[in-house]
Amino acid sequence: MSDTIILEVARFNPESDAEPSYESFEVPLRPDWMVLDGLNHIKDQLDGSLAFRWSCRMGICGSCGMMVNGVPTLTCETLLMNYAPGPVRVGPLDHFPVVRDLVVDLDDFLAKLQKVRPWVVRKDDFKPAREFIQSPAQLESFHQFSLCINCTLCYAACPVYGLDPNFIGPAAIALAHRYNLDSRDQGIEDRLDIVSRHEGIWDCTVVGECSTVCPKHVDPSLAIQQYKLTATKEWFKSFLLPRGKH
């Protein structure tokens, strides 16, 4: 087997390029190298102008998501060896505007994330004198959804988000669901106002790619379907009791 591999990396400079193009680099193929190590080799040794985001190198910061051979991938935990003999095509995440090379603009996602209020919302003056007791079963109900690292791979994988940029999207809905299920939280009504709109859960057609690509094994698709059931129950309740506060 060859001891090098070709990385075809997307390049785009908004000041000089009309559209992105791919540039090939030959990098060492080492058994312990991730795709991100290959990119860092390019940046350090071959072309310092290559722009990409990364930070922790251990799959927790969620910065280094890119399209690798067309699949949304966390590059710090994906072996280059998996793509031997190559070439490997690395591009910016789909469905987001490209700032430069492999860096995308996440403003849209961050604005949506804030809208669904992904924190513990209390309606009362919540100042417990001691710790809030939560049973293992109560923790289990939302635990998997709390593992989201906001890497936005699910947005790049979601064909609905590609078609309708207004779609709130998998991660934001999964996180809204995570707080709804938390026994300390009282914000379900506030979130329902945002999430049960057409561009919220109802835009989802259960393609399920979000859950397939998630590097933390969160199941956003499940969250959205559970949310649909909650919203449907609330809809029928408000239909039957139009003036009732429920």
Partner 1 sequence: MSAGKRSNEPVVWFLFGVGGFFAAYFLPVHVLFYGLLFPSGLVHAPGYQQTLALVRHPLTRLYLFALLTFCFFHAAHRMRLTMSDVLNLRHLNTVLAFLCYGGAIVGTIVTVWLLATV
- Positions touching partner 1 (CB under 8 A) are 159-160, 163-164, 166, 192-193, 196-200, 202, 205, 228, 231-232, 235-236
CA neighbor of 91 nearest in space, from 152, 12, 161, 5: 12
Structure tokens at 219: 């199941």
Label residue 53 exposed, middle or buried (CB < 10 Å: 0-12, 13-18, 19+): middle
Nearer to partner 1, 32 or 193 (CB): 193
Query: Tokens representing 105?
Result: 């603009």
- Cβ at position 192, least distance to partner 1 in Å: 8
Cβ 205 to partner 1, closest distance in Å? 5
DSSP class of 45: I
Between 33 and 202, CB nearer to partner 1: 202
Least separation in angstroms between residue 240's CB and partner 1 is 13
C-beta of 122 vs 237, nearer to partner 1: 237
Nearer to partner 1, 22 or 236 (CB): 236
Contacts 24+ apart (CB under 8 A), 136-139: 138/182, 138/183
Nearest Cα to 155, choosing from 165, 143, 140, 145? 165
Location of structure tokens 């309606």: 123
Nearer to partner 1, 125 or 193 (CB): 193
Find out whether 117 and 187 touch, Cβ atoms under 8 Å: yes
- Grouping H, G, I as helix, E, B as strand and the rest as coil, residue 1 is coil
Closest distance between partner 1 and the C-beta of residue 200, in Å?
8
> Which structure tokens are listed for 23?
């540039």
Judged by beta carbon, residue 53 or residue 115, the one nearer partner 1 is 115
How far, in Å, CA of 60 to CA of 238, rounded?
Answer: 41
Q: CB 214: neighbour CB atoms within 10 A?
A: 25
